[in-house]
Amino acid sequence: MLRTALMLTCLSLPVAAQTLGDQQLSIVPRTVAEAARIATVTAPTSDFTKPEPFEEKPAGAATVRARPNADAFSQFSGNMPFAHQMNFQLGNALFTKTWVASPSSTLASDGLGPLYNARGCQDCHLKDGRGHAPEGPDDRAVSMFLRLSVPAGSSAQDIEDWIATANEPTYGGQLQDFASPGQVAEGQMQITYTDLPVTLAGGEVVTLRAPSYSVGGLGYGPLDSATMLSPRVAPQMIGLGLLEAIPADDILAQADPDDADGDGISGRPSIVPSAEFGTPMLGRFGYKGGAATVRDQSAAAFSGDMGLSTPLHPDPWGDCTAAQTGCITAPHGQEPKNRDGLEVDHASLDLVTFYARNLGVPERRDIGDVGVLRGKQMFYTLGCTGCHTPKHVTHRLEKQPEQSFQLIWPYTDMLLHDMGEGLADNRPEGRATGREWKTPPLWGIGLTPQVSGHSQYLHDGRARNLLEAVLWHGGEAQAARDGVVGLPATDREDLIKFLESL
């Protein structure tokens, strides 16, 4: 299918094709006057006595009502035309579908594994929310897994600052802790925590938990001695299509890799190969910006998490390696005459991508509360907006109305930042170093307990509340973190109240 491409120049890269979806699109360029108006609308506020115009609608017209239950993240975009709603519901059915191993009588649902982390998308993203770290030996890590890699001597990627790594030779790119009948699971993630006390102004002590990761019960022999482990908790799913629709030029304009303005913030764009388009593109998704589009991210999850083949990853054995002979000789669900010869065919991947792109962002709560407004002012004053950019305006998209020309409030700059040694996983991913992470969006973060039933945050769920998440910030965010430590208790409470309103 033809696509209309958005063209951008990424650092020293040649001009690369960039798209916002898999449907035929028509992007309306901004006029000079329109760009000037957008710059005014997205400029940081200096008035904290009242909410800003449209602040209660973090996704613009796509914002949905904040349901008072666990379904708050499972609604379609508030401005979705009726004609598109069936595709969303079909995508939801595939997202919540439970896959089974081959051979099976359920030919429309077979092909799982042979090695895998989950049997369905919603196993990890329950209610489209955030996963959690295991809470004990009996709590299997269905919504959390370990990335695996080893250093590589050279890189085939023609991307500036690319750090060459390779999958672990025996176990592949991630540890799969489940296996189909007759197969052996790769192993089990093991976590130990060390207490790390932090004393706040006024004498209050907060005890952080510093995690350490290892692998037990290895099913295929030892890991390579140079293996790097990095944990990943499934992130929330809301607003992905709107993040995909932010103009790349707007994101690149915020990059300051050499900290030329001297503010201590030096964000860098992640540039990654897109499986969808076969070219380097701006990395928007994943904790280190490892995926360029929602479709790229969805296909990678089908392959790596569930061992299912898609048009972008046609291998029917997912992350299995040549050393895992039982895996690569096991039955699979690919049939030449059905589903395009794939386990997840083109139409199914389209529907899941559409669903993921259109999960609605709930409206804000209590935005006029005095404590929330004071907390917002502290968020700005402490410099948190140096990475968590409050506002963006998306592209005009003639055939994608849900994401077209919306003023959105995701609180992210979509860039990589050095977050210090405390949060470092010491595992590079593409251009991202072992200390860098992409700024996560904050919209919906206050609804995590309601949707997900817990209050764990950060890439590995180590933070058990929002204050702990803030106290783990270091590197480029060290000054802001130290500012929070020095606040009077009532001011810290207001800051957290503001975050809970997002």
Q: Give the whole-angstrom CA distance, residue 91 versus residue 246.
A: 23
What is the residue type of 232? Answer: R
pLDDT at res. 22: 29
DSSP code of 200? P
Confidence of residue 11 (pLDDT cuts 50, 70, 90): very low
Q: Tell me the per-residue pLDDT of 56-86, one tens digit each, with 9 for 90 and over.
A: 999 999 999 999 999 999 999 999 999 999 9
Q: According to the model, what pLDDT value does residue 110 have?
A: 92
List, in order, residues 6 or more apart from 346 with CB less than 8 Å away.
311, 340
Q: CA-based angle 195:200:203, to the nearest 5?
A: 100
Higher pLDDT, 157 or 122: 122
User: What pLDDT score was predicted for residue 19?
Assistant: 40
Question: Over 80: is that where the pLDDT of 27 sits?
Answer: no
pLDDT at 225: 97
pTM score:
0.94
SS3 233: strand
* Percent of the chain predicted with pLDDT > 70: 95
Residue 232 CA from chain centroid, whole number = 10
Q: How many CA atoms lie within 13 A of 161 on its CB side?
A: 16
Other CB atoms within a 10 A radius of the CB of residue 414 amount to 28
- Token couple for 346: 């083109």
Alpha carbon distance 496, 277 (integer Å):
41
- pLDDT tens digits for range 318-347: 999 999 999 999 999 898 877 899 999 999
Question: What would the two tokens of residue 264 be?
Answer: 């201590």
CA angle centred on 91, ends 88 and 92, rounded to 5°: 85
pLDDT at 62: 98
pLDDT (tens digit per residue) in 202-254: 999 999 999 999 999 999 999 999 999 999 999 999 999 999 999 999 999 99
Q: What is the pLDDT of residues 159-190, one digit of tens each?
A: 989 999 999 999 999 999 999 999 999 999 99
pLDDT surpasses 80 at 14: no
Of the candidates 297, 287, 256, the one whose C-alpha atom is nearest the C-alpha of residue 423 is: 287
What Rg do the C-alpha atoms of the chain give, in angstroms? Answer: 22
pLDDT at residue 255 above 90? Answer: yes
Of the candidates 298, 399, 305, 364, the residue with the CA atom closest to the CA atom of residue 91: 298
Rounded to the nearest integer, the mean pLDDT of the chain is: 92
Phi, psi of 14 (to 5 degrees): -65, 165
pLDDT at position 154: 75
User: Helix 82-95 to helix 346-357 angle, to the nearest 10 degrees?
Assistant: 110
Beta bridge partners of 149: 228
Would you state the pLDDT for residue 194? 98
The single-letter code of the amino acid at 134 is P
Q: What is the mean pLDDT of residues 388-409?
A: 95
**Cα gap 462→442, rounded to integer Å:** 17
What is the model's pLDDT at position 5?
31
Q: What would the two tokens of residue 360 be?
A: 């609605």
